[in-house]
Structure 1
Amino acid sequence: MFPGATDEREEADAAAGRADANFVVVGAPLDVSTTFQPGTRFGPQRIRTFAEPFDDYDHRTDQYFSDLGVVDHGDVRAWDDVPEYLEWLEGVLRDIVWDDAVPVTLGGEHTVSLAGVRAVEPDIVVSLDAHLDLRDDYDGNPLSHASVMRRVLDDELDSVDELFVLGARAGSEAEWDRAEAADVTVVPPEDVADWDPADRFEGRDVYLSVDIDAADPGYAPGTGTTEPFGLEPRELRDVVRSIAPRATGFDVVEVNDRDDGQAASLAGKLVREFIYEHAVAQSS
C-alpha cells in the first residue's frame, strides 16, 4: 500500500470505499519491452516501499497526505500479451475516472501510459522523459516503451491535440523529424526550469507522465535506459507542481530495482507532490 493511502483490498466494500476517493493509486508492473536493463516489474512496490519514510504532513501546503482521500487499488498483475494487458489496465483506470477520482499509475515500463491516456482522454499530454518515445516501432514492436508517445499521437487517441516532451535529450533521426510537427513541442533539459505552459493549457485537460529517466542518472540510476545530462530533481518537482492542478491523470514509470532506492524515492516524492498540489487547487 502507498503510505498514507487506504488499502482498497482491505475494504469490506471496495466499490463503496473508492466512491469517496479523490485519488486512486494503481500499480502497473509491466516489464516486457525494456531494451537495456529490465526490472520495471518491481517498480510499483519499490515506489511504495521507499515512500515509507516521508512525513504525513506537508508544511508548504499545510496538508496531511492521509486526509486527501488517496486509495491504493494495488497492482494490476501484468502478463505477456501487451495489447490485452493495456486494455484491461485501461478499464481499471477508466472506472476510476468515472468515479470522479484521479488515477495515479505506478509503472512499470512507459508503455502503461498508453492505458492511462486512453482512460483519461486528455487534450494535452506532458511527458517528462530523457527520450522522445516517438518511434513508429522498436525492433518491429509498435507497443514498445520507445514508441508510447507515437501511439498516443498517431493511433486512435483523437482527443490528444498536443504532446509536450520535457527534458528530452535522445532520439532517433526519425523521431526528431516527427517532433518537428506542429502537435509536438520538445523542451530540452537546459530550458525546462524556465518553461511555463501559461495560457496554452487554459481550459484543457492534461495527462502528466513522468519517466524517471528524465532525471539525471546521478539522481535516479534505477531505470532501464539511463541518459546523462538530465534534469535536477527540483526541476521535475517544479514541473509536477505546475501541471498538477490541470491534470486529470498522472503516472510515474520506468523505476526498476537496480539502485539503492534513489529512483523509487524520487518517484514516490513526485507522486506526493502531485497529490498535494492537485488537492490544493481543488480546495481553492
Structure 2
Amino acid sequence: MFNKFTAAAVAALAATVAAHGDHAHDQEPIEGPHKSLWYNTLPGDGGTQADSVFSGISTFGRIEYSPCLATADRKYDIAFIGAPFDTGTSYRPGARFGPSGIRQGSRRLNLYGGYNVPLAANPFNSWATVIDCGDIPVTSYDNEWAIQQIEEGHNSILMRAPATDADKEGPSLKGKTLPRVITMGGDHTITLPLLRSMNRAYGPITVIHFDSHLDTWRPKVFGGAPSKTASINHGTYFYHAAQEGLMRNDTNIHAGIRTTLSGLSDYDNDGYCGFEIVEAREIDTIGTEGIIKKIHDRVGHDNPVYLSIDIDTLDPAFAPATGTPETGGWSTRELRTIIRGLKGIQLVAADIVEVAPAYDTNAELTTMAAADTLYEVMTLMVMNGPLSGLPNKEHVDRKVDL
C-alpha cells in the first residue's frame, strides 16, 4: 500500500541517489591487456577484457608492476617494495614470504574500483602514480649483508624524482620533493636499514610504531648480543636506531603495546630511545578516539613521519600468522579506524612487517588484514598530496650535500 510513509522513503532514496551521483565519474571498469577479447555490455559500448580478481600475476592491489631496481627511468609518487627477510626473528620464522602473501591478500582491494568510503578518497584513481616495484634481492645467508641490501635497495627507490612536482621544493635534506615508499616485510629487523635510508633523505625522523612489543631492548637483554650481527634483530632495531641518531627524540610513539618485560627498566630504556607508549588495553578506557588524539598530540603535523606497523598489533584471533603473537590485541576494525585517524599527519614512508603466511588460516586472515591496513595508509598518503606541500625549513636550511 502506497502511503505517506512510502512516499517519504522513496523521496529519501531519490535524494540519496542524487547526492551520490557526482561520484559516478570515479568508477571506471578495470581494463586488461587482452586487446582481442572484446566485450559489449550495451550496443556500441566496448572495452578490453581484464583479468579476473583471482587470475593474473599478483601485485599490491593489482596496480602496475615495474622493476624499479633494474631501471631508473620509471616515475612514481608512491612505490610498494618488498623486503623478504626473516633471519632476525626470535620465535617463528617465515616473514620472508610476507611480501608475496600481502600481495595475495590484496587482490580484492580494487575489485569494485578502490574507493575508500570512510576517508572519501580513491587511492587507485588520484593525482598519484602508484606502482609495485617488486622485491629487494635479500640474501638469507648473511644478515649483515642483507641489512645493507635492504638499505641500498630502499634508498634507490626513495631518492628519485617523483612523477608529480619533481621540480618543486620539498622536505628532504636537499630541499627536494621525493616519492613515498611503502615496504612490505619481512621481520621487524628491516626497519633499521629502512630508517638508515630515510635518514639519508630526511635526517632524524619522527616514528609512529604500531606493535605489541617495544622493540627498544638493549642487545644484552634481548638475544644476549654474542656478536655485532646477532645484536641487531627484531627486538633491538630501535635501540640501534636511537644510538645512530636516526630518530627525533621527542616525537616518537608506540601504540598497541602489551608485551611482558625483563623488568620495569625496559620502560626506562624505551624513554631513552625517545618513545611515548600507548598500551593496547587503553582502548578499553579511552577508545579509538583517545588513542588517535594521543598520537596526534605526540607527533604533530609539521614533521615528516615514518610509520611502522607490526601485524602483531592485532590480536592473534585476527592475525594468527606472525612471528611473535601476543593475546589481548586490537581487532582489525579498531586498527583500521586508528590508522584512518592519522589523517593530517605527514606520512612520508611506511612499512608493515612480521606477516608470516605459513601460520595463517586457509582464509588468509592475516595477509588480508595486512593488505587492508596498507590500503588505509596508501589512502592517507594520497589525501595528503605531493610532498612538495611539506617544506621542512629545518632540513632545507641545512643544505646538506648528500
Q: Is the 8 A contact 1:123 1:161 kept in 2?
A: no
Which of 1 and 2 has greater Rg? 2
**Mapping 1:1-284, distance limit 5 Å:** 1-9=59-67, 14-17=71-74, 19=75, 21-55=76-110, 56-60=113-117, 61-63=120-122, 65=124, 67=126, 68-79=128-139, 80-99=141-160, 100-121=178-199, 122-137=204-219, 138-139=222-223, 140=225, 141-157=230-246, 161-170=250-259, 171-173=261-263, 174-181=265-272, 183-191=274-282, 193=288, 194-195=290-291, 196=293, 197-200=295-298, 201-243=300-342, 245-257=345-357, 258-260=359-361, 261-282=364-385
Q: Is the 8 A contact 1:120 1:248 kept in 2?
A: no
SS of residue matched to 1:57? coil
The CA deviation at 1:182 is 7.8
Q: Is the 8 A contact 2:138 2:149 kept in 1?
A: no
Q: Is the 8 A contact 1:217 1:228 kept in 2?
A: yes
TM-score, normalised via structure 2 length: 0.65
The CA deviation at 1:102 is 0.7
Distance of 2:124 and 2:253 partners within structure 1: 29
Change in Cα spacing, 1:84 to 1:95, as seen in structure 2 (3 Å) is same
When the two chains are superposed, the root-mean-square deviation of aligned CA atoms in Å is: 2.2
Report how many aligned residue pairs link the two structures: 280
Distance of 1:265 and 1:115 partners within structure 2: 26
Q: Is the 8 A contact 2:249 2:275 kept in 1?
A: no
State which drifts further: 65-74 or 219-228: 65-74
Q: What letter is aligned with 2:80? A: V
Q: What letter is aligned with 1:252? A: I
Distance of 1:64 and 1:128 partners within structure 2: 22
State which drifts further: 210-219 or 273-282: 273-282
- Unaligned segments of structure 2, at least 5 residues: 1-58, 161-177, 390-402
TM-score, normalised via structure 1 length: 0.90
Change in Cα spacing, 1:76 to 1:187, as seen in structure 2 (3 Å) is same
Q: Is the 8 A contact 1:24 1:103 kept in 2?
A: yes
State which drifts further: 164-173 or 223-232: 164-173
Distance of 1:215 and 1:236 partners within structure 2: 7
The CA deviation at 1:161 is 4.6
State which drifts further: 241-250 or 210-219: 241-250
SS of residue matched to 1:276? helix
Q: What letter is aligned with 2:64? A: T
Distance of 2:217 and 2:208 partners within structure 1: 17
Distance of 1:73 and 1:92 partners within structure 2: 11
Change in Cα spacing, 1:272 to 1:182, as seen in structure 2 (3 Å) is closer
State which drifts further: 199-208 or 101-110: 199-208
The CA deviation at 1:30 is 0.4
Change in Cα spacing, 1:118 to 1:182, as seen in structure 2 (3 Å) is closer
Counterpart residue number, 2:169: none
Q: What letter is aligned with 1:94? A: N
Change in Cα spacing, 1:208 to 1:22, as seen in structure 2 (3 Å) is same
Distance of 1:158 and 1:227 partners within structure 2: 26
Change in Cα spacing, 1:66 to 1:42, as seen in structure 2 (3 Å) is farther
Distance of 2:236 and 2:311 partners within structure 1: 16
The CA deviation at 1:221 is 0.3
Distance of 1:97 and 1:242 partners within structure 2: 26
